Structure 1
Amino acid sequence: MDLSLRNANESDMRFLLDLRDKTMKHYLEEAGLPTSNEEYEKRIRFEFDSAQIVEWGRSPIGLFKVTYSHKRNYWYIVQIQIDPEYQGMKIGSWLINSNPAKHLYFCLGIREVSAIDAEQRMDLKPQY
Structure 2
Amino acid sequence: MKITLRSAQEADLVYLLELRRLTMDEYLLQDGVDTSDEEHLFRIKYNFEDAKIILVNNIKAGLFKASYIAQSKQWYIYQVQIHPEFQGNGIGGELIKGLCMDALKQGCTVGLSVLKSNPAKTLYDRLGFTVVDSNCSEYEMVYKSKIMTQTLE
> TM bucket by the smaller chain?
0.7 to 0.9
Question: How high is the sequence identity, in percent, across the aligned residues?
Answer: 38
- Counterpart position of 2:144: 119
Whole-angstrom distance in 2 between the partners of 1:20 and 1:63: 9
Output the amino acid matched with 2:144.
E
- Counterpart position of 1:105: 105
TM (norm. structure 1) is: 0.78
5+ long unaligned stretches in structure 1: 107-114, 124-128
- Counterpart position of 1:38: 38
5+ long unaligned stretches in structure 2: 107-127, 131-142, 149-153
- Counterpart position of 1:110: none
Output the amino acid matched with 1:102.
D
Q: Does 1:70 align with 2:95?
A: no
Q: Which structure shows the bigger proportion of residues in helix conformation?
A: 2
TM (norm. structure 2) is: 0.66
Question: 74-83 or 4-13: which moved more?
Answer: 74-83
Q: Number of matched residues? A: 115
1:122–1:8 Cα change, 3 Å = farther
Give CA deviations for 1:4-31 in whole Å, capped at 9, x if unaligned: 0001110100110000010011112222
Output the amino acid matched with 1:36.
S
Where 2:6 maps in the other structure, the secondary structure is strand
- Counterpart position of 2:22: 22
